[in-house]
Chains A and B, each alone.
Chain A
Amino acid sequence: MTFYNSLHTLRMDLGMLTEFVGFEHFREILTTDDVFWKAARNSLTWGIVAPLVDIPLALMLALTLHARVPFARVFRTVWFTPVLMSYPVVGVIWLWVYNYDWGMANLVLRAIGLGDYAQAWLASPATALPALILVTTWMFAGFNMVVLLAAIHAIPPEYLEAATVDGAAGWRRLLHIIVPLLRPTIVNLAILDFIGKMKQFALVWVMTRGGPMWGTETVATYVVKRAFEWKTLDLGYPSAIAVIWFVIIFGLSLLLTRVLQRREALEF
């Protein structure tokens, strides 16, 4: 149905009057719509950077807890908590954290003598998107950590003992035994994280509305804006954006799965 709509102009003010326009919307989006390209770049940045930050961080956290740190269960429970909150709740809390005068971010910077770096994080196009990416890391690193920790626990202890007997300890054991064995889980989490960030809507909607200067506009927020906020009253155009984006997400996920799994096949 969305695909059908994408080939038409749907006027919401005229009782959903439908007029066939063929691939006109697609042409317009891909050739003249600057906002779409900005949004696409932001979403793609988010989708690529987030897994690269979230998953190594989660892996380090999981390995630390695996090293029999006292109260590991308590830490695990605390780190997992952010993922249980809704985006609006998280968004409001982080609006306060990024507050220029009294937010936690600037407070910490001033406390450790980096007060010069204190700034209004969400007000500048250069820092707004990284600031939002950090929020999703705060939400999801703990979640990824829990999944990885379970996967580490599932590694048969004989493998690790055999490696130790063969003289691989510490870092080498980690790099050559644990990480390759975790690869399927890591690939899975990375793709899930990638898809999740490519669809990101709610956090942006609550915290920045896509601003400043389209600095945090994502494809999802742009679709909703084009459909319901701009007074174009046409459902066809945003439907076409949604179709394009769906195809891109789907294609890239398949590609990622392929590439990451092939590397796995080569190494063994």
Chain B
Amino acid sequence: MRRRLGRLILMVPVLVYTVFSAGPYLWTATMSLRTTDEIYRSHYGLPIPAHWDKYARAWNEFGYATYFKNSTIVSVASVLLVTVIGAMAGFAFARRRYRFPLREPLFLLIFLSVMFPPQIMLLALFQILVQYRLFNSLIGLVLVYTVTELPLTIYLLRAFFAQIPTELEEAARIDGCSDWATFWRVMFPMALPAVATTVILNFIYFWNEFLYAVVFITQQKIRTLPLAIQFLVSDQYQDVGMLATGLMIATLPVLVLYLFLSEWFVKGMTAGAVKG
């Protein structure tokens, strides 16, 4: 009896924090289905009737289709590059068999660069992008994203590959596999759980990245979602309803995936936290 009472009392802070945590987003969700006129009449009404057509309007008339496409292209391309290069490099660093000059110093450098704050690279990367005419292009942004997340990816995947016993590779080699085939047919599939973790971690990072995007992209038609939202806030500050719809478009895909794969998301996001 006393235990049950104790639990009931614990529910109070839990519910208060849940309101604090979910309230602002749910409020935004209701506004995304109401017109700005309705919102200004009462800010906390329920979305009745629900204006689902606002999503279509935001998509077609306010450019969210373009921004969504840009964000998708940049995030997917960067994730692919980071994953392929990161997995191969992680494997090479995990196996002493692969000898190349400066192996240890190189890994130390990669490890250190995990901790570099982006500001220190921002201005240097800006100069490099301008020099190679990659400033203001999605390709440039993809390259920047790839190099900024490669160190952490290599670091995480190396740790995973190092745990896999070498007998499997030796068996594959005896069966006549080349190094290349051994890696892609045997080792990479075995590392899929770790790879999935880094894919999620990197995808969320790329999808949400703002600092590099705001400095390296100035043309409207190649803006990514976070960048677009920042500009729409200042341009259409009054149009709260449409902005709320835009916010939902920018976040819903990730959050819906998260609902179904929450364990994987938690694993991915916290993988970055254990590096210290």
The answer to whether A78 touches B225 (Cβ under 8 A) is no
Q: Using a CB-CB cutoff of 8 Å, which residues 183-228 of chain B contact chain A?
A: 204, 207-211, 214-215, 225-227
- Is A143 at the interface (CB under 8 A from chain B)? yes
The answer to whether A89 touches B262 (Cβ under 8 A) is no
**Segment from A121-129, A175-183, A194-202 that makes contact with B:** A194-202
The answer to whether B276 touches A246 (Cβ under 8 A) is no
Q: A36 CA to B268 CA in the complex, in Å?
A: 36
Query: Whole-angstrom distance from the CB of B66 to the nearest CB of chain A?
Result: 16
The answer to whether B17 touches A239 (Cβ under 8 A) is no
- Among A107, A202, A205, A253, find the residue whose CB has the most chain B CB atoms closer than 10 A: A202
- Is B265 at the interface (CB under 8 A from chain A)? yes
- Is B27 at the interface (CB under 8 A from chain A)? yes
B259 surroundings in chain A (CB, below 8 A): 77
Count A-B pairs with CB separation below 8 Å.
Answer: 186
Q: A146 CA to B28 CA in the complex, in Å?
A: 25
The answer to whether A82 touches B7 (Cβ under 8 A) is no
Q: Using a CB-CB cutoff of 8 Å, which residues 232-253 of chain A contact chain B?
A: 235, 238-239, 242-243, 245-246, 249-250, 253
Q: Given A83-B269, A89-B251, decide whether A96 and B240 contact each other with a Cβ distance below 8 A.
A: yes
- Is A94 at the interface (CB under 8 A from chain B)? yes
The answer to whether B254 touches A5 (Cβ under 8 A) is no
Q: A239 CA to B28 CA in the complex, in Å?
A: 39
The answer to whether A205 touches B210 (Cβ under 8 A) is yes
**Segment from B51-59, B83-91, B111-119, B168-176 that makes contact with A:** B111-119
B23 surroundings in chain A (CB, below 8 A): 104
Query: Whole-angstrom distance from the CB of B173 to the nearest CB of chain A?
Result: 37
- Is A266 at the interface (CB under 8 A from chain B)? no
Q: Given A1-B127, A93-B247, decide whether A147 and B230 contact each other with a Cβ distance below 8 A.
A: no
Q: Given A70-B7, A81-B22, A96-B28, decide whether A195 and B117 contact each other with a Cβ distance below 8 A.
A: yes
Query: Whole-angstrom distance from the CB of B1 to the nearest CB of chain A?
Result: 16
The answer to whether A220 touches B21 (Cβ under 8 A) is no
The answer to whether B243 touches A102 (Cβ under 8 A) is no
Q: A138 CA to B21 CA in the complex, in Å?
A: 6
Specify the chain A residue showing the minimal Cβ separation from B112: A250
The answer to whether B210 touches A78 (Cβ under 8 A) is no
User: Given B14, B22, B120, B207, which contacts A64 in the complex, CB threshold below 8 Å?
Assistant: B14
Cβ contacts B106-126/A at 8 Å (1 or 0 each): 000000000111111111101
**Segment from A22-30, A156-164, A184-192 that makes contact with B:** A184-192
Q: Using a CB-CB cutoff of 8 Å, which residues 51-96 of chain A contact chain B?
A: 60-61, 64-65, 67-70, 75, 77-89, 91-96
Interface residues of chain B: helix, strand, loop or mixed (majority) = helix
Q: Given A79-B17, A147-B270, A201-B211, decide whether A220 and B262 contact each other with a Cβ distance below 8 A.
A: no
A146 surroundings in chain B (CB, below 8 A): 266, 270
- Is B5 at the interface (CB under 8 A from chain A)? no
B24 surroundings in chain A (CB, below 8 A): 93-94, 96-97, 104, 138
- Is A223 at the interface (CB under 8 A from chain B)? yes
User: Given A2, A10, A83, A87, which contacts B226 in the complex, CB threshold below 8 Å?
Assistant: A87
- Is A118 at the interface (CB under 8 A from chain B)? no
User: Given B119, B127, B258, B262, which contacts A199 in the complex, CB threshold below 8 Å?
Assistant: B119
The answer to whether B119 touches A223 (Cβ under 8 A) is yes
Q: Given A89-B229, A102-B43, decide whether A192 and B273 contact each other with a Cβ distance below 8 A.
A: yes
A77 surroundings in chain B (CB, below 8 A): 258-259, 262
B102 surroundings in chain A (CB, below 8 A): none
The answer to whether B210 touches A202 (Cβ under 8 A) is yes
- Is A16 at the interface (CB under 8 A from chain B)? yes
Specify the chain B residue showing the minimal Cβ separation from A90: B24
- Among B123, B208, B247, B274, find the residue whose CB has the most chain A CB atoms closer than 10 A: B123
**7 pairs of residues in contact across A and B, judged by CB atoms under 8 Å:** A61-B13, A65-B14, A88-B226, A92-B233, A104-B24, A146-B266, A192-B273
The 8 lowest CB-CB distance pairs between A and B, nearest first, are: A86-B208, A1-B124, A202-B210, A102-B43, A88-B229, A86-B226, A88-B226, A188-B276
**Residues of chain B having any CB pair with chain A under 8 Å:** 6-7, 10-11, 13-14, 17-18, 20-25, 27-28, 43-44, 115-124, 126-127, 130, 204, 207-211, 214-215, 225-227, 229-230, 233, 240, 243, 247, 250-251, 254-255, 258-259, 262, 265-266, 269-270, 273-274, 276
